[in-house]
């Protein structure tokens, strides 16, 4: 058998068209677009988390304020009511030439039937000497009430309706309705009189009767202003 030489016996396999492999480039795909979407998704998650944190903090603050208000309301309900205080109206700053010397000083008179006690209002003092006294207390026997009259140390006086008066009011009462010679004021609870002393400078004194017990016993209080002008 004869052999025929061909010109392509030594050619490589890929030289034949049937053995050739067509290589085509593989696209990379939308890598850039995926990166942008991922970034927006992450940003959205971060924004949502921050918003949720802010909402939680606001809710916590609101709850705290509500709790504080409720605690204060409960404490106010539980606190016992304070009793109201009775305040006597006395003008400590009389003005117009008056200065407070003392306020509501107690004076206690205790003598027997048909006895006398003298009061010095410049100090003030009960059971003072007659020559320096501003008021004379006369105790009566039986059903007759005791009385107060001006002493040698007083220059003028006037009975007033109540102790709710200041120094200027006392001065006006002495000018318009003074106690005349020998006039007296009945000692009963609530009685009040104004006395202008002869001291230098003089004192304007308000005397109030606070209680009257058995014969010869009475409680009083005095408020004094120095007359400065």
**In degrees rounded to 5, what are phi and psi of residue 180?**
-80, 175
Pick out the chain residues at pLDDT < 70: 1-52, 54-56, 58-96
HEC per residue, 133-155: CCEEEECCCCCCCCEEEECCCEE
According to the model, what pLDDT value does residue 149 have? 97
- Residue 80: burial class (beta carbons within 10 Å; 0-12, 13-18, 19+): exposed
According to the model, what pLDDT value does residue 214 have? 78
- What is the pTM (predicted TM-score) of this model? 0.59
Q: Tokens in use for 99? A: 């200065």
Q: Which secondary structure element, helix H or strand E, spans residue 159, and what is its range?
A: strand 154-160
Q: Tokens in use for 165? A: 């008066």
According to the model, what pLDDT value does residue 63 have? 65
Residue 100 CB neighbours (<10 A): 15
According to the model, what pLDDT value does residue 154 have? 97
According to the model, what pLDDT value does residue 7 have? 47
Kindly write down the DSSP assignment for every residue of 33-90, as one continuous string: HHHHHHHHHHHHHHHHHHHHHHHHHHHHHHHHHHHHHHHHHHHHHHSPPPPPPP----
Mean pLDDT of the chain: 78
Q: What are the pLDDT digits (tens) for 129-177? A: 999 999 999 998 888 889 999 999 999 999 999 999 999 999 999 999 9
């Amino acid at each position: 058998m004869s052999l025929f030489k061909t010109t392509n016996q030594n050619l490589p396999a890929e030289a034949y068209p049937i053995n050739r492999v067509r290589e085509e480039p593989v696209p990379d795909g939308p890598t850039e677009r995926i990166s942008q979407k991922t970034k927006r998704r992450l940003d959205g998650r971060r924004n949502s988390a921050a918003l949720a944190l802010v909402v939680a903090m606001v809710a916590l603050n609101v709850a705290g304020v509500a709790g504080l208000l409720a605690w204060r309301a409960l404490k106010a309900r539980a606190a016992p009511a304070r009793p109201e205080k009775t305040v006597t109206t006395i003008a400590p700053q009389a003005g117009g030439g008056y200065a407070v010397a003392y306020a509501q000083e107690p004076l206690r008179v205790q003598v027997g039937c048909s006895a006398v006690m003298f009061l010095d209002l410049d100090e003030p003092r009960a059971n003072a000497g007659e020559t320096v006294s501003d008021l004379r207390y006369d105790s009566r026997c039986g059903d007759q009430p005791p009385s107060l009259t001006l002493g040698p140390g007083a220059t003028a006086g006037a009975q007033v309706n109540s102790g709710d008066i200041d120094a200027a009011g006392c001065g006006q009462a002495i000018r318009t309705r003074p106690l005349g010679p020998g006039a007296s004021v009945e000692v009963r609870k609530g009685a009040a009189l104004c006395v202008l002393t002869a001291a230098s400078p003089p004192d304007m004194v308000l005397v109030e009767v606070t209680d009257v017990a058995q014969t010869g016993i009475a409680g009083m209080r005095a408020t004094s202003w120095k007359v400065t002008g």
